Amino acid sequence: MKFWLPEQSAGEIVTLDKLDAVAVSSGVAGWMALRGTRRFPALDDSALELLTPNAILVAALADDYEYRSVGHALVEGFNEDFTGRRLSAIIAEAPRFGLGLRMLYDMVRAGGEPVGYRGWAGQDMEGARFVYHENAILPFGSGGVVDHILVLSVLVPQDVMPATVRA
């Protein structure tokens, strides 16, 4: 069955409490527990428990980002494994997508605050096997410096969308 997809992908920044996906909200609860009274937690062994099939761990480099771990649910949804790749390479291949990621990562890195993001994948996301996504972008680091970002994402596959969005 064919699905209606917008021509261009679109999304919106939201507060974390507006995200509905259980895998995202439970991961956010775990991040908040690790954070305690700090602005953001350090990346240590207890934080690695948040690396689920719906998680991406990104290292913040001097002028780029590097994908350290990509959960298998996201590899399936994007039809690609970004592990070991740099964001600059993704920007070179898919500028609109990559620059959108950079904007979100830079915002979290500079502000040290988590960000919620959700939206629709459009026809411009060639190869994507999903139509809707919810994400929490969470900072990790020490000494007031964000050195890693954890992205918790749920991708809604095309084959589970309600009939109201099918063509």
pLDDT tens readout for residues 86-100: 999 999 988 877 888
Where in the chain are the domains? 10-165
pLDDT band at 118 (very low <50, low <70, confident <90, very high): confident
Tens of pLDDT, residue by residue over 7-63, are 555 577 889 999 888 889 999 999 999 999 999 999 987 777 788 888 999 999 999
- pTM of the predicted model as reported, rounded to 2 decimal places: 0.83
Q: What pLDDT, on the 0 to 100 scale, is given for residue 29?
A: 93
Q: Residues, the chain, total?
A: 167
CA atoms within 13 A on the CB side of 133: 27
Q: State yes or no: pLDDT of 163 exceeds 50.
A: no
Q: What pLDDT, on the 0 to 100 scale, is given for residue 140?
A: 96
Grouping H, G, I as helix, E, B as strand and the rest as coil, residue 65 is strand
Place of tokens 């589970």: 160
Which strands, in side-by-side order, build the sheet including 65-70?
A: 10-14, 115-120, 130-142, 145-157, 55-60, 65-70
Place of tokens 């999304």: 11
Pairwise CA distance, residues 24 & 129, whole Å = 19
CATH number, domain 10-165, options 2.60.120.10, 3.30.450.20, 3.30.450.30, 1.10.1790.20: 3.30.450.20
Q: What pLDDT, on the 0 to 100 scale, is given for residue 121?
A: 63
Strands (E), the chain: 10-14, 55-60, 65-70, 115-120, 130-142, 145-157
Cβ pair 105, 87 in contact under 8 A: yes
